């Protein structure tokens, strides 16, 4: 695993999905085999390592966000679009948490999407937001299939349990089922019932031929 500490030029970027996206890291340790970011991030970042074998840590993310928020129009911030904001390195660097603290100060609405139960660390912050949603990507109910496609993500049942924990605190939650992998979708929906406010379902995105 190649880990570099870098200084980003921008951290709060315009998005076509929500108002802004925020990625504290470039690259992702979770190594998800279906991730669309693996198609372009290595080329964009200049890395030659395989996807999942490099991460650039944006060590100035928190201070940079603080400056950008001073002039940014209020809008919804998606954390994150091309990395998991709670990949293992976040336990050490706490960039996602630091960015959340800045967003909380300005009360920017936030949408978090992850596959890691490390997100539970932030429950104290979540409760202070006026508008926040926390979601987990869960592509299958089958742990063996999930392990094949998402080798370093938290186990499916742990993700579902985390959703329940967050939801029970009065925080809006969602599940992103995408891509829909082999398994029992009816069972997955049953397990999610009462633990999420809504569900997104997406198809597999194949590279253009």
Task: Quick: pLDDT tens for 156-173.
Answer: 999 999 999 999 999 999
**In degrees to the nearest 10, what's the CA dihedral of 56, 57, 60, 61?**
100
Predicted pLDDT of residue 38? 81
**In degrees to the nearest 10, what's the CA dihedral of 145, 21, 91, 49?**
60
| Beta-bridge partner residues of 101 | none
What pLDDT band is residue 205 in, cutting at 50, 70 and 90? low
Predicted pLDDT of residue 202? 82
Report the pLDDT averaged over residues 7-32: 97
Strand, helix or coil for residue 52: coil
Contacts of 158 (CB under 8 A, 6+ apart): 117
Report the pLDDT averaged over residues 67-86: 98
Look at 37 and 79; give whichever has higher pLDDT: 79
**In percent, how much of the chain has pLDDT > 70?**
96
pTM attached to this predicted model: 0.93
Predicted pLDDT of residue 40? 78
User: Mean pLDDT in the chain?
Assistant: 95
Burial of 86 (0-12, 13-18, 19+ CB in 10 A): buried
Alpha helices in 82-131 (DSSP H): 90-93, 95-106, 123-126
pLDDT value at 44 more than 60: yes
Residue ranges covered by each domain of the chain: 2-201
Task: Report the topology of domain 2-201.
Answer: pyruvate-formate lyase- activating enzyme (3.80.30)
Predicted pLDDT of residue 203? 64
């Amino acid at each position: 695993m190649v880990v570099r500490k870098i200084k980003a030029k921008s951290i709060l970027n315009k998005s076509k999905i929500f108002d802004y996206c925020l990625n504290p890291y470039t690259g992702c340790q979770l190594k998800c085999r279906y991730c669309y970011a693996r198609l372009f991030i290595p080329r964009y970042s200049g890395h030659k390592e395989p996807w999942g074998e490099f991460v650039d840590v944006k060590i100035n993310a928190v201070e940079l966000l603080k400056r950008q928020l001073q002039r940014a129009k209020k809008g919804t911030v998606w954390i994150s679009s091309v990395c998991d904001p709670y990949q293992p390195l976040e336990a050490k660097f706490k960039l996602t948490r630091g960015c959340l603290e800045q967003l909380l100060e300005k009360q920017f609405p936030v949408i978090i999407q992850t596959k890691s139960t490390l997100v539970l660390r932030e429950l104290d912050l979540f409760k202070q937001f006026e508008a926040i949603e926390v979601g987990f990507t869960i592509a299958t109910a089958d742990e063996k299939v999930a392990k094949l496609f998402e080798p370093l993500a938290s186990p499916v049942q742990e993700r579902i349990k985390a959703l329940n924990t967050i939801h029970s605190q009065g925080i809006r939650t969602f599940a992103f089922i995408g891509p829909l992998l082999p398994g029992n979708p009816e069972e997955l929906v049953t397990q999610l019932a009462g633990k999420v406010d809504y569900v997104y379902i997406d198809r597999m995105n194949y590279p253009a031929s």
